[in-house]
Amino acid sequence: MSKNELLYTRACAVIPGGVNSPVRAFGSVGGTPVYVASGKGARVTTCEGRTLTDFCCSWGAMILGHAQEEVVEAVCRQAEKGTTFGINTAIEVEFAERLCALVPCLERVRLVNSGTEAVMTALRLARGVTGRQRIVKFDGCYHGHSDSMLVAAGSGVLTGGITSTPGIPPEVAKDTFVVPYNNLEAITELMQAKGNEVAAIIVEPVVGNMGLVQPKPGFLQGLRDVADRHGAALIFDEVITGFRFGLSAYAQTVGIRPDLITLGKVIGGGLPLAAVGGSADFMGHLAPVGKVYQAGTLSGNPLAVAAGLKTLEILERDNPYPRMAALGKRLADAVNAKAEHFHCAQLGGVFTLFCTHAPVTNLADAKRSDTQSYARRFHHALDAGFYLPPAQFEAAFISAAHTEADVDALADAIKSQLLSAEKRGT
């Protein structure tokens, strides 16, 4: 048994499915999930000593690459001064100030420990402010694993073919309406019928969790309009998109002002840190000012904040965004020049290799992908030294540490797979 298989066997004896998050399992691609010993820059080293170029990047969190020196130093320095107090610190104030300065539509932010928690808080707040119960989400969007969001969810829920999750009371699930992404007609119709019951419309402004799917022109503005028309809050779940395509929220880039924005992944610099924010008025309903309760022992702890603050500082200083976008485009162009029955969707440094030739604009399109073909491509890439997300319905990420050579090598591996697949007629 290989070291990896041995670890997996041990893991399965003590951790359900051997993984601490279902998206790390190899359920949809087959084989044994990888166990990592360390990471540096664009590469991870497995427990067997193999080096892989990493295009998962902790699902986008590691925008500067692994173990970036200045981030490591900031974390070590903070660790020596204490990691959490349950008492306020200056660094969390500085971090909140940075977020509000970089995302002008945020006047107040509350720091939490995960994207799930940020979304859960945003929904409770929207319900508290509007006095309504129902939430509208889009088919295939993933907003973390809180009860009301595990309805028609993307990411691991989609990959696992889980359509309804036992453990979620039907009364909770029935309060979540689901409409197709990129379909303004559908949501307009739903809101005409039920708008007076809807507390919030929540959306990934660019979807990462059914693979990368971009909003059609006018879609996001249409959501703002329809939310306004019916007095519902608009929540942009920017746990992936925030600080991913530029040094702000995606909302800022497209000039739309949601009522609430959730942030996570990138802003934590690789530590557990997320945020929910909005106008002073809206956020003023959160305790201790308002009556909507939310709290957290480790919320805004200085260790995570040190990593996040340093990451934002480096992103601002180095502005790696144009380079990451150029690398993304280089990869997509190289792959798409060759591909049939297959294409690379890409925005900035985010991409998905969809095993379908048709463009993907919503979940129904995404589901036309040949997931077995994706599994073969995934393993071919892994054998060639590249770690891609181990599922079709996920986004892959390019970090500031990746180079043209890394991207070209991945493109070559994909193209060689395409050639051999054509020869086999698969």
**Which residues are identified as catalytic?**
142, 237, 265
Q: Minimum Å distance from CB 157 to ligand PLP?
A: 12
Is 204 an interacting residue with respect to ligand PLP (CB under 6 A)? yes
Dist CA 259 CA 277 (whole Å):
8
Site string for ligand PLP, 67-106 (x = CB under 6 A): ----------------------------------------
Dihedral pair phi/psi, residue 223, rounded to 5°: -65, -40
Is 23 an interacting residue with respect to ligand PLP (CB under 6 A)? no
Is 209 an interacting residue with respect to ligand PLP (CB under 6 A)? yes
Tokens representing 68 are 């970036």
Site for ligand PLP in 281-300 (CB under 6 A): none
* Contact window for ligand PLP (CB under 6 A) among 34-42, 202-210, 304-312, 382-390: 202-210
∠ CA 75-349-211 to the nearest 5 degrees?
Answer: 105
Q: Minimum Å distance from CB 64 to ligand PLP?
A: 18
Q: Minimum Å distance from CB 262 to ligand PLP?
A: 7
What lies within 8 Å, CB to CB, of 93 at 6+ separation is: none
Q: Minimum Å distance from CB 9 to ligand PLP?
A: 26
Bridge partners (DSSP) of residue 178 are 137
Site for ligand PLP in 127-186 (CB under 6 A): 142-144
Q: DSSP characters for 169-205?
A: -HHHHTTEEEE-TT-HHHHHHHHHHHGGGEEEEEE-S
Comparison of 199 and 267: residue with beta carbon closer to ligand PLP: 267
Structure letter (DSSP) for residue 34: P
What lies within 8 Å, CB to CB, of 381 at 6+ separation is: 387, 388, 410, 413, 414, 417
Is 346 an interacting residue with respect to ligand PLP (CB under 6 A)? no
Q: Minimum Å distance from CB 405 to ligand PLP?
A: 29
Comparison of 111 and 411: residue with beta carbon closer to ligand PLP: 111
Comparison of 352 and 373: residue with beta carbon closer to ligand PLP: 352
- The only residue of 46, 53, 89, 114 in contact with ligand PLP, by rule CB under 6 A: 114
Helices 404-424 and 321-338 meet at what angle, rounded to 10? Answer: 20
Which residue's C-beta sits nearest to ligand PLP? 115
Comparison of 153 and 187: residue with beta carbon closer to ligand PLP: 153
Q: Which helix (H) or strand (E) holds 136?
A: strand 134-138
CA distances from residue 189 to 73, 124, 139 in whole angstroms, order as listed: 53, 25, 16
Is 116 an interacting residue with respect to ligand PLP (CB under 6 A)? yes
- Long-range contacts: 74-83, Cβ < 8 Å, 24+? 74/306, 74/307, 74/309, 74/310, 75/271, 75/303, 75/306, 75/307, 75/310, 77/306, 78/302, 78/303, 78/306, 79/303, 81/302, 82/302, 83/301, 83/302, 83/303
Q: What share of the chain is helix, strand, coil (3-state, %, to 5)?
A: 45, 15, 40
* Contact window for ligand PLP (CB under 6 A) among 108-116, 121-129, 218-226, 306-314: 108-116
- The only residue of 54, 139, 237, 406 in contact with ligand PLP, by rule CB under 6 A: 237
Comparison of 240 and 314: residue with beta carbon closer to ligand PLP: 240
Dist CA 33 CA 395 (whole Å):
18
Contact 139, 315 (CB under 8 A): no
Q: Minimum Å distance from CB 115 to ligand PLP?
A: 2
Q: Minimum Å distance from CB 241 to ligand PLP?
A: 8
Structure letter (DSSP) for residue 350: E
Interface positions with ligand PLP (CB under 6 A): 59, 114-116, 119, 142-144, 204, 208-209, 237, 239-240, 264, 274
